[in-house]
A and B are shown apart, each in its own frame.
Chain A
Amino acid sequence: MDLLGDFMTRATLAGMGVALAAAPLGSFVVWRRMAYFGDATAHAAMLGVALSLAFGMSIFAGALVVAFTMALTVNALTGRGYAMDTLLGVMAHSALAFGLVAVSFLSGVRIDLMAYLFGDILAVSRLDLAVIWGGAAVVAGLIAWRWSALLTATLNADLAYASGIDPRREQLVLTVALAVTVAVAIKVVGVLLIAAMLIIPAAAARPLARSPEAMAVIAGAIGAGSAIVGLRAAFVLDTPAGPTIVCCAALAFAGTSLWRRAPLG
């Protein structure tokens, strides 16, 4: 039997791939209070989608380039007069708006905008699956490789400098990982809900974890579990798949928060 021939199997594997990449990255996003940064990078990817369609490139490549450019620009501009959230708000929503406008010019192509805003996980192809798991492996590998340095830089920049670690380089590692995650997650949850897959499983894992490593692993389990349960629920209830997955993660968050009231910042 051809296991990948079933669209539900492919969708489940795609959801799990994104969840596993998002878990360790999402933990850093939560610890470093970069939630808005993740959101902004994801929204900007819509412009990448429009450019990909216009030039006949792969969506993955277009989204990756724009997400990466956006993240690097924000990185570079921070601390030059504008507050980070203002800068992100300007850039993210401008990119999203320009992306939506650009898409409307593409009269030759019939585009289901909803598929990019909210994902189209049930239409994941074998190639998509390869891209998602490839991207997830890159992200997980990158973060595992830099784990100690990232953690030190997250605790305190000067502590990192004193240990011979350049915190700006570690920030760049996270930026790259974020761009890759956004690019691979578009198909699964869409640009509007990527940040949810980063933040919600990590936040749900917090009350259950006593170490940073445990938090990343538990977040991965919660994310993957949400993907499995969410897809099943979407199938049974006939609801949109991406949002249903996020709903499951949100319920997990509510559950763990109530189960053990841990200090959450």
Chain B
Amino acid sequence: MSLVTVEGLSIRYGGKTALRGVDLSIEPGEIVTIVGPNGSGKTTLLRAVIGALRPASGRVRLKPGLRLGYVPQRLHIDPTLPITVGRFLALPHRAPHGARRAALQRAGVPDLMDRQMSGLSGGQFQRVLLARALIGDPEILLLDEATQGLDQPGSAAFYRQIEAVRAETGCAVLMISHELHVVMAASDRVICLNGHVCCEGSPAVVASAPEYRALFGTGTGGALALYRHDHDHDHSHDHAAE
């Protein structure tokens, strides 16, 4: 059965409707990316899936006993809170040392166990968050803009890591990203969200859908060109036209 099933989900948030009538299901092992402009309800949708938001109508069903790993958009650890990476990975459930080390290895940061969380670089921090999500052998990973604050090579490396994790463990991935060209290349399915589901399907289908083009455009700087890796165009004409 599906890992996550969302049926007719509407969420009201601060007196406004953030999502209306969203249907969605995630199957085992697939990588699904949610794209959409700012304020389109991407994070709201993910927060509803983890149970942080109550639906105004519709519902979210998780496979009974679903093991999920969640990587939040931003995690601020107050500098007054001393905590090592190893201790952080053991929250809230004491995971054995071996499992924590394996998770760090899988997330590509094997040597950070005894470091303080406050001393990590942005990229290390995100990978530690990924490692924590991987503990307990999740059936699905939920990532909310997990590469925020990383530079382009850093985020590309991060997404390669996600693909490697999926290949190794077979877990499904539901993620949100702004970096269309990177994530669309890695996704099995893309969902374009703008308060409701505008369009969905394979990356190529979504990239050519009129709803998607209306939101993101089709210019040479757009995601479509990058996704197809067209290198036969001239970047300078954009600036010349301005």
Contacts and interface: CB of A to CB of B under 8 A. Distances in A.
Interface of A: 30-33, 148-149, 151-152, 154-165, 203, 206, 209-212, 214-215, 263-265
> Would you call the interface of chain A mostly helix, strand, loop, or mixed?
helix
B92 interface: yes
Given A148-B91, A162-B50, A31 B78 contact: yes
Contact of B82 (A149, A164, A211): A211
A170 B47 CA distance: 19
B50 A161 contact: yes
A263 B79 contact: yes
B118 interface: yes
B190 interface: no
Nearest to B50: A162
A148 B92 contact: yes
B37 to A, nearest CB: 22
Contacts of B51: 161-162, 164
Nearest to B69: A162
Nearest to B133: A162
Contacts of B94: 148
Given A148-B91, A211-B82, A264-B80, A159 B116 contact: no
A186 to B, nearest CB: 26
B240 interface: no
B75 interface: yes
Most buried by A among B47, B91, B93, B116: B91
B72 interface: yes
A33 B83 CA distance: 17
Interface in B50-96: 50-52, 68-70, 72, 75-84, 87-88, 91-94
A210 B82 contact: yes
A51 B230 CA distance: 77
A214 B82 contact: yes
A159 B72 contact: yes
26 contacts: A30-B80, A33-B78, A151-B91, A151-B92, A152-B92, A155-B75, A155-B91, A158-B50, A158-B52, A158-B70, A158-B72, A159-B70, A159-B75, A160-B92, A161-B47, A162-B50, A162-B52, A162-B70, A162-B142, A163-B93, A165-B92, A203-B80, A206-B82, A211-B83, A215-B82, A263-B118
Contacts of B75: 155-156, 159
A97 to B, nearest CB: 32
B70 A212 contact: no
Contact of B91 (A33, A152, A209): A152
Nearest to A207: B82
Contacts of A160: 92
A199 to B, nearest CB: 10
Contacts of A211: 82-84, 87
